[in-house]
Every structure is written in structure tokens, then in C-alpha cells.
Amino acid sequence: MFLKIKLIFTLVLSIVLLGCTSQTFAPEEEANKMAEMFIQSVNSGNYDAAFALVTDDFFSYRAKEQWQEYYKEIAEHMGPVISVKQTRKHVDSRLTGQFYMYQFSIKHENGFTKEMVTFIQKINTEEPLKVLAHKIDSSKLAKINAKYE
């Protein structure tokens, strides 16, 4: 009797564990390309293309129009982009999904910005990989960032 219970428990546990690991996530290369596309779209002023890559939750932090104003103000203050370099990437699995985080160092005519783009691919959904958050930092942006916080 004890052996049957142990066997049934082992089978049920195996099925549950197999179900937990069946989620397939986007490859890092896809997330990397999307991060570069997002940064390029924002920095070129093509906000519609950038916003096509974001989750609905992205706009819960700041409305779409506020994001556009924010990006325009930064572009005016920092000047044209001279170069973009990816400086860090990190992939993290959590209970809610797979997170991809990319940091860029962007050289502008008037200084540098450090930008972090975070993607999420949620577990157990058909939703594609999307941008969850975007943070822009620079000592020259303290007033602008405070205004939009």
C-alpha cells in the first residue's frame, strides 16, 4: 500500500514539474535586437515604432503623451546622438516570467546618458516579448527626470 502511494505521488510530482518547465522563452538574441530597435526608435524620434514594442503596463507609469514629451525634452537638452554602446545585459527568470535587461551608454552632442531597457515575457501566456520599462539617467538630466517622476 505504501509503495503504491509513493509511486502515485512520484508520478503526480513528475507531471507537475514537467508542466512547469514547458514554457519556452524568446532567445536572448531576439531580446537584444528588440532593445537596440527600441533605443534607436526613441533616439530618432520615431515614438510610434518604440511604443509598438511596449507592454500595456509601460504606460501605467507615465502616459503615452508624457513619454513623448519626456523623450523630446531629453533630445533637446542632450542634443543629437553620436554613438550608442550596449554596456551590460542580464537575463533573469522569476515567478512571473523571463526578464531581459539591457543597459546602453549613449553619447550625445552635449554629454552621455545611461539607459536601461527591461523586457518581460510572462509565463503561461501567448504574449510576445515586450518592453516593460525604460530608464534614462544622466547628471545633466536631474531637473528633467524630477519633473516627470
Give 25-147's CATH code, choosing from 3.30.70.100, 3.40.1010.10, 3.30.70.1560, 3.10.450.100: 3.10.450.100
Contacting residues for 62 by C-beta, under 8 A, at least 6 apart: 70, 148
Residues 42 and 49: their CA atoms lie apart, in Å, by 8
Instruction: Say if residue 3's pLDDT is above 90.
Output: no
- Give the domain ranges of the chain: 25-147
User: From the centroid of its chain, how far is CA 22?
Assistant: 23
pLDDT tier, 1 (very low <50, low <70, confident <90, very high otherwise): low
10 pLDDT above the threshold of 80: no
How far from chain centre, in Å, is Cα 126? 17
pLDDT in tens, 14-43: 444 434 444 555 678 889 999 999 999 999
Residue with cell 531637473: 143
Specify the pTM.
Answer: 0.79
The predicted pLDDT at position 123 comes to: 80
Q: What is the SS3 assignment for 71?
A: helix
- Residues 38/67, Cβ–Cβ less than 8 Å: no
Q: What is the pLDDT of residues 87-115, one digit of tens each?
A: 999 998 887 788 999 999 999 999 999 99
Mean pLDDT of the chain: 85
C-alpha closest to that of 117 among 102, 127, 138 = 102
